[in-house]
Amino acid sequence: MAPTASGMPVNDRTAMQLIAVYACVRILANAISGLPLRSMQTRDGIDVPVTPAPLIVSDPFGGTNNVRFPSRRKGLEQLAVSLLLRGNGYAMVTARDYLMRPTRLVVLHPDKVKVTLEDDGGRSYEVNRLPVYAGDIVHLTGLCMPGQAEGMSPVTYARQAIGLGLAAEKFGSQFFGKGAHLTGVITMPADLDKARARQMKESFEASHSGLANALSVGVLSGGAEWKPISISPEDAQFLGTRAAQNLDVAMLYGIPPHMIGQVDRTTSWGTGIEQQWQGFLQVTLDPWLGGFEDVWSAMLPRGTFAQFDRKALLRTDTAGRWAWYQIARNIAGMTPDEIRGEENLPPLPDGAGRDPFAPLNSAHTTDPGWTPGQPEPEPEPAPAPEPPAPPKEP
C-alpha cells in the first residue's frame, strides 16, 4: 500500500476502483468462465468428448446441485480474478474418488497461501501457515520469472500507471464536485474585512450555486464586479490523461480498446466482429485458457485432457453460419444432424440426418445394401407390356 509517485496507494483492491482495470478483469474473467470445459480423448486422430465427464470437469466446485458451493462458472471466475490481479490463482483439493483422483476443489485467497521453491525446482505450499501436500494444491500462474515460485502481479508491475489513472479520477471528481478550481472572483472598490468578505461569498453562493440556479440572473451592488476564471489548458488535460491511462490498462491486459469503450479511433483488430473476436481469442484469451487447461488436464486420468470449447467465441451472424453449413454439407464435412446440433435443434427423425452423402436434390438414401459415397443404384427398367390377346372366333 505504499503510495505511488502520483500519491495514490495501489493494490489489487484499489486498482479495481479504476474503471479500466475493472472492465479488463471483468471481460477476461467472464470470457474464461463462460466457455464450456470438457474432458477430451483422442480416438483415431480425432479429439472427442468423454461422456460422462469426470466431476472435476463437470462440477469441480460442487455448486451444480448445492447452493452452498460455487458453481463451475463462479469458481473459474474467482480463480481468473485472482490470477489477473495477483498473477496467481489457488485452489485446494477437498475430495477424491476411490482411485484418488480429485473430484472437488475450493478456491483460496492468495493471501492465505505461501509458496516456496525447493532446491529440486518443485514447489511447497503452506495454507494459513500450515504445510499442505503439494498434490492437493492447484496453482495457476501468469507471467513468471525463472527461478521464482509465484507469478508476477500485473497490478504490482503497473502500479505507477494505475496510480496515475486513480489520481486523474480523483482530480476530476474534486474539480467538478468540490471546487478544486475557482470559477470566478468578486472584486470590490473598497477593502473588506474578513467577516464582510465571508458574508458576501456565502450570500452569493446561496443565490447562484447549484443546478437549480444554473441559468439564474445575478445582481451585484455596491460597486462589486464578477470576473469569471477560465479553465487553463493544463487543467483541462486531465480528460486526455484519463483516456491515455485507459489505453495503458487495455495494453497491460491485451484487451482491444474498443471493448472498454475507446471507440474514438479505428481499431486494428479486424474489420468485422468475427475477425475482432478471432484476434482477441488468439492474442489475449488463448494463453490464459491454456493455463487453465494444463492444470485441469493434470487432474484427469491418463490419456484424457481438459479443453475449453472456443467455438462460442467465433460464432458468426446467422447468414454467415448457414453459408458455412452449406459448404460443409456439400463437401460431406458435416451431417444434417451435426448442423442441427450446432443450432441446438433436435436430430431428424428415423436417422435421416446421419448420412453425410445424402444427395441434396433427391430422397434420402436409406436403401439396404447402399454404401455411403456411392451413387444411388439405377432403377430397374419396367417390364415390357404383354401383347393383347387375339380376339376369339365366333
Averaged pLDDT of the chain: 80
- The sign one gets for the Cα dihedral 128, 129, 135, 138 is positive
Q: pLDDT tens digits for 201-218?
A: 777 667 666 555 555 566
Task: Answer whether residue 330 shows pLDDT above 80.
Answer: yes
State the amino acid at position 278 in one-letter form. Answer: Q
Whether the per-residue pLDDT at 322 is higher than 70: the answer is yes
Question: Going by C-beta distance under 8 Å and a sequence separation of 6 or more, which residues neighbour residue 227?
Answer: 184, 185, 186, 187
Each residue of 17-28: pLDDT tens digit? 999 999 999 999
pLDDT-based confidence at 126, cuts 50/70/90? very high
Mean pLDDT over residues 334-356, rounded? 79
What would the mean pLDDT of 315-335 be, rounded to a whole number? Answer: 77
HSE-up (13 A, CA, CB side) for residue 146? 0
Looking at residue 43, its pLDDT comes to 85
Alpha-helix residue ranges (DSSP H) falling in the chain: 12-15, 19-34, 55-58, 72-86, 154-157, 159-177, 194-208, 233-236, 238-253, 273-279, 286-297, 318-330, 336-342
- Name which of 84, 96, 99 is nearest 133 in CA terms: 96
- 92 CB-side CA count, 13 A: 14
- Model confidence pLDDT, tens digit, residues 144-199: 888 889 999 999 999 998 888 888 888 777 766 655 455 666 676 777 677 877 77
Q: Which grid coordinates are listed for 209? A: 450555486
Angle at 217 between CA 214 and CA 222, to 5 degrees: 125
Put simply, whether the predicted model's pTM sits higher than 0.85 gets the answer no
| Residue 94 contacts residue 66 (beta carbons within 8 Å) | no
| CA dist., res. 24 & res. 102, Å (int) | 31
Rounded distance, CA 34 to CA 28, Å? 10
> Is pLDDT larger for residue 392 or for residue 77?
77
pLDDT band at 313 (very low <50, low <70, confident <90, very high): confident
Cell numbers describing residue 235: 487543467
- Cell triple for residue 186? 468578486
The pLDDT, as a whole number, for residue 355 is: 74
**What letter would DSSP give residue 54?**
P
**230 vs 186, which has greater pLDDT?**
186
Asked if the model's pLDDT at residue 101 lies above 90, the reply is: yes
Burial class (CB in 10 A: 0-12, 13-18, 19+), 190: exposed
CA separation, residue 132 to residues 102, 127, 129, 234, 271 (Å): 15, 7, 9, 55, 50
Query: CA-CA distance, 325 to 99, in Å (whole number)?
Result: 43
370 versus 137: the higher-pLDDT residue is: 137
**Would you give the DSSP letter of residue 212?**
G
Please, what sign has the CA dihedral across residues 235, 238, 244, 245? positive
Looking at the chain, the whole-number percentage of residues with pLDDT higher than 90 is: 33
Please return the burial class of 250, using the count of CB atoms within 10 Å of its CB with bins 0-12, 13-18 and 19+: buried
User: Is 243's pLDDT higher than 70?
Assistant: yes
pLDDT exceeds 50 at position 296:
yes
pLDDT digits (tens, 9 = 90+) for 262-287: 666 555 665 666 677 777 888 889 99
The domain locations on the chain are: 1-111+139-181+231-315, 182-229, 318-351
